[in-house]
Structure 1
Amino acid sequence: MNARVTSRDVKVGDLTFRLHEAGTPADEAILFLHGSGPGATGLSNWERIIADLASSFYCIAPDMIGFGDSSHPDPAPQGMAAFNEVRTAALFGLLDALGLTKVHLVGNSMGGSIALLMVLQAPEKVGKVVLMGSGGAPDLPASPGLRHLREFYADPAPESLRELLRQFVYDLEPLSDRIDQVVAERMSYVVRDDVRRSHAGSFNMAPARRFFHPDELATIEHDVLVVHGRDDRIIPLAASTYFATHIPSADLYVLGQCGHWTQIEHPEKFEYLVTGFIAGEL
């Protein structure tokens, strides 16, 4: 782990968050919300970013409820919509536990959907919002990469995880020096029964899915930066175009030669965008 990042457990009612944090609590706070996928955690998505931004912001990146070393409800909520409502309520409880009255939000994929739920449910607790490859746009077909993610436990082997990670990025080669470590770290979670249970609950496709419609997006008064990799094979660029079209104060930034993980594939650009946007310089 980066020396500037620390981890601890925070109780929120009957649930526990594994919280990864960097920076000084007196600074402006950014809540980083990771995406879904086998073995996903706050640290695996955000470790470099929160360490790099710690000199300017108080950065918090919890494992979402149902992921990593945070609580895994038993029984698990069924369907992503129901599970994300539980995650959203728990995140508000986490902010209260930390004494944070307002935070900026940075949400990747599923984390983007949760960021939208948070700003719609309690806009007074949210500053600026960054959506990165966000889910929740209607009328988009599921990509092969997203289907692989949903159905991962049909073949939960390291080789299958490696192939899934290949679909997450435009070019895996620059990350090849770390890929074995990433696969090993994620597989340590994949094999756990509680992680499998939460994955099955999240990706139960029988319940109705939660999409964000133009009329509710039009009510968002916050400044929103929508970021997307042009070559994303998990969530298509059309999703971010949709959000940027219907959120009144939204700007769209598209990165070429970039897949679903802007913060990992182009960390310097991503950090520039986040810091400039929050500072009002973009």
Structure 2
Amino acid sequence: MGLPVTITTTTDIDLLRHRVQTSLGEIAVSEVPGNGPVLVMLHGGGPGASGVSNYHQNLAALAPHFRILLPDQPGFGDSYRPTEADLDERSITAITVDALFQALDALGIDTFHLLGNSLGGAAAIAMAQTQRERITGLVLMAPGGGWLPFGPTPTEGQKEMFKYFNGGGPSEKKMAAFIRTMVFDHKQ
């Protein structure tokens, strides 16, 4: 089981911080303890994204009703960074689903409500498809970071975005590759 390493306060809410070891790497999970059902909230992507940064303004309203878990998905916050080789082998969504289920298992979470924003929406959809019996409710917020179970995935843009953030971290060369992938006319 992941052990709480620190307690911090954000928006007058006390958070337990867990560092959960999975077979893929360490997953950071912030928790708002509560007696209600478990609500797992998956953040979106982008620079500085994490469970707490994405949802800190919602915690006070939700805390009286739920035990809230805010995992940092692989590649974000204080969780491990997949390597470029990892991302070539499996999509970030497949990596995330595997790591998050392992982390939830380690924390003793059997069933839970699941909320996913943008990139977290893609992971939430995949989690619900993979182990639907564990998901008691599903809310998706603009799951534009995701893809459907048909067609080529991940897209070339998604591949480049994760290469930019992960592996050795951002670089000018990686940013140029990402921009070339995202624009039709490279001269512009």
**Please, what TM-score do these two structures have when normalized by structure 2?**
0.70
Q: Is the 8 A contact 1:106 1:131 kept in 2?
A: yes
Question: 1:20-35 counterparts in 2 under 5 A?
Answer: 20-24=30-34, 26-35=35-44
Q: Is the 8 A contact 1:5 1:51 kept in 2?
A: no
2:57 corresponds in structure 1 to 48
Please state how far the C-alpha of 1:49 moved relative to its aligned partner: 1.6
Q: Which amino acid aligns with 1:73?
A: P
Q: What is the distance in 2 between the residues matched to 1:14 and 1:193?
A: 14
Question: 1:1-282 counterparts in 2 under 5 A?
Answer: 1-2=9-10, 3-24=13-34, 26-78=35-87, 82-135=91-144, 136=146, 150=161, 194-196=168-170
Please state how far the C-alpha of 1:92 moved relative to its aligned partner: 0.7
1:235 corresponds in structure 2 to none
Q: Which amino acid aligns with 2:51?
A: G
List 4+ stretches of structure 1 deviating above 6 A: none
Unaligned stretches of 5+ residues in structure 1: 139-145, 154-189, 206-282
Please state how far the C-alpha of 1:90 moved relative to its aligned partner: 0.7
Please state how far the C-alpha of 1:38 moved relative to its aligned partner: 1.4
Unaligned stretches of 5+ residues in structure 2: 1-8, 149-156, 180-188
Q: What is the distance in 2 between the residues matched to 1:32 and 1:97?
A: 17
Alignment length (residue pairs): 155
Map Cα deviations across residues 16-64 of structure 1 (whole Å, 9 max, x no partner): 111111022x430011000111121111101122343112100011110
1:74 to 1:124, Cα distance in 2 relative to 1, 3 A: same
Greater fraction of residues in strand: 2
Q: Which amino acid aligns with 2:93?
A: N
Map Cα deviations across residues 226-274 of structure 1 (whole Å, 9 max, x no partner): xxxxxxxxxxxxxxxxxxxxxxxxxxxxxxxxxxxxxxxxxxxxxxxxx
Map Cα deviations across residues 125-178 of structure 1 (whole Å, 9 max, x no partner): 11110000112357xxxxxxx99x959x6xxxxxxxxxxxxxxxxxxxxxxxxx
**Please, what TM-score do these two structures have when normalized by structure 1?**
0.48
Q: What is the distance in 2 between the residues matched to 1:195 and 1:51?
A: 34
Q: Is the 8 A contact 2:73 2:96 kept in 1?
A: yes
